[in-house]
Amino acid sequence: MTSITFSQANNWKWGKGNYSYAIKSDENKRDFSFSSDNIPVFVIKSLLNSYWFFISDVDGDNCPFTPSCSNFFLQAAQKTNFIQGSLMFFDRFTRDMDFFEKNKRYPSVEDGHYYDPVSLYALNKNEIKYLPPSIIVK
């Protein structure tokens, strides 16, 4: 009954979809531009561009999270400031190094990464939207 009701309320889903079976990864979405109004963010972006080009893209998709740790650092610095962004990055890196049962603590995205957005860690209670690990984020 619930599924029938749900399907009626979401009839836009019935349309034809354009699906790609290629593995989605952050590398495809990378923005190598340097444009930024903020000097610390500009510095971080320059360092990350080098890291992505010379190390990460060669090394492959190893970060278990979405956004990846490097993107997280950039987004955190953009959202807050350089110091808070750095603290958020160190905390994220600790969570990245943790080998114990991530699947019981984070929801997944469709490509298999764990969903761990910046908004959860910006110390703004109103922005924290808790998602149980059982769900798949689209």
Chain residues binding other proteins by CB under 8 A are 1, 4-5, 8-9, 11, 84, 86-91, 93-95, 97-101, 105, 120-121, 123, 125, 128, 130, 132
Q: How many CB atoms lie within 10 A of CB 71?
A: 19
Closest distance to other proteins from the beta carbon of 61 (Å)? 22
Closer by beta carbon to other proteins, 27 or else 128: 128
Closer by beta carbon to other proteins, 89 or else 114: 89
Closest distance to other proteins from the beta carbon of 21 (Å)? 32
User: What does the DSSP assignment read for 30-93?
Assistant: -------S-HHHHHHHHHHHHHIIIIIHHH-S---EES-HHHHHHHHHHHS-HHHHHHHHHHHH
Determine the Cα–Cα distance for residues 34 and 28; give it in Å rounded to an integer: 17
Residue 25's closest CA among 58, 77, 76, 63?
63
Closest distance to other proteins from the beta carbon of 125 (Å)? 6
Closer by beta carbon to other proteins, 4 or else 58: 4
State CA 84 to chain mean position distance.
18
Closest distance to other proteins from the beta carbon of 92 (Å)? 8
Closer by beta carbon to other proteins, 13 or else 29: 13
